[in-house]
Amino acid sequence: MITGPSGVGKGTLIRSLIDRIPALELSVSATTRPPRPGERDGVAYHFLGRDEFDARVAAGDFVEWAEYSGNRYGTLRAELEERLRRGAPVVLEIEVQGARQVRDQLPDAVQVFIAPPSGETLRTRLIGRGTDTQEQVRRRLETAAEELAAQPEFTHVVINDRLEEAVGSLVAIVEHELAAA
C-alpha cells in the first residue's frame, strides 16, 4: 500500500512504478467525490453516490474506507480479492486512515509512505493542481499535517522531491519486497 498526504504525488509515482514493474496492478478505489475532467468511472475510481457507498460499507464490501476532505474513499474487497486470487501483486493508493485499516487486516502488506520535501512544497503542488477551491486546499493542508506525523508508523518512507529519485526508491522497495515474497 502506498499512502501520503493529498498532493504529494502518489498517483504520479504509482504510474511510473507500474510502467517499470508491469506485473503490478493498481486496485481502483471507490469514492463519493465527483469525477474530475477526464476521469472515467471504473478507471480512475468507482464513482458512487453517498447512499450507495454507505450501503456498501454496511454490507462489509470495503477492506478499508475513510472520509477525506468531505468525501469518502475506499478499497472494495472484491476489487482486491479478484487480483489476489490471480496471484497479481496489487498496489493500493490510499489515505493514511485507510492504510491503518489495511495494516490491521493485512499485516504482511508492504507499507510505503510518500512525503513531500516540505510543507510549502505540498501547498504549492495542491494549488498548482487547480482542482480544489481555496477552502479545499486549506482543509487538505490541515489533514496533511496530521498525516505527516504518521510517517514513523510505516515501514518505508519515500521523499518525493526529485521525481526520478523518488521513483527509483519506490521501484527498489517494491522489487526487494517482490523478491522476498
pLDDT for the residue numbered 181: 79
Mean predicted confidence (pLDDT) in 5-13:
91
pLDDT for the residue numbered 47: 98
As beta bridge partners, residue 3 has 113
Chain mean pLDDT for the chain: 93
Contact (Cβ atoms closer than 8 angstroms) between residue 103 and residue 63: no
Mean predicted confidence (pLDDT) in 118-147:
87
Torsion of CA 64, 119, 158, 101, to 10 degrees: -10
Mean predicted confidence (pLDDT) in 137-155:
91
Closest CA to 164 of 10, 24, 16, 22: 16
Cα 135 to Cα 164: distance, rounded to the nearest angstrom:
31
Cell of 23: 506485473
Amino acid at 40: R
Instruction: Name which residue leads in pLDDT, 7 or 22.
Output: 22
Cα 168 to Cα 6: distance, rounded to the nearest angstrom:
21
Mean predicted confidence (pLDDT) in 150-171:
96
Cα 28 to Cα 42: distance, rounded to the nearest angstrom:
7
Res. 128: pLDDT tops 90: no
Distances from the Cα of 107 to the Cαs of 32, 110, 135, in angstroms?
Answer: 27, 8, 36
pLDDT tens digits along 13-69: 999 999 999 999 999 999 999 998 999 999 989 999 999 999 999 999 999 998 887
- Percent pLDDT > 70 in the chain is 100
Mean predicted confidence (pLDDT) in 166-171:
98
Of 46-55, 108-117, 124-133, 147-156, the poorest mean pLDDT is in 124-133
Distances from the Cα of 143 to the Cαs of 26, 92, 105, in angstroms?
Answer: 24, 20, 24
Cα 21 to Cα 13: distance, rounded to the nearest angstrom:
12
Backbone dihedral angles phi then psi of residue 95, each to the nearest 5 degrees? -80, 165
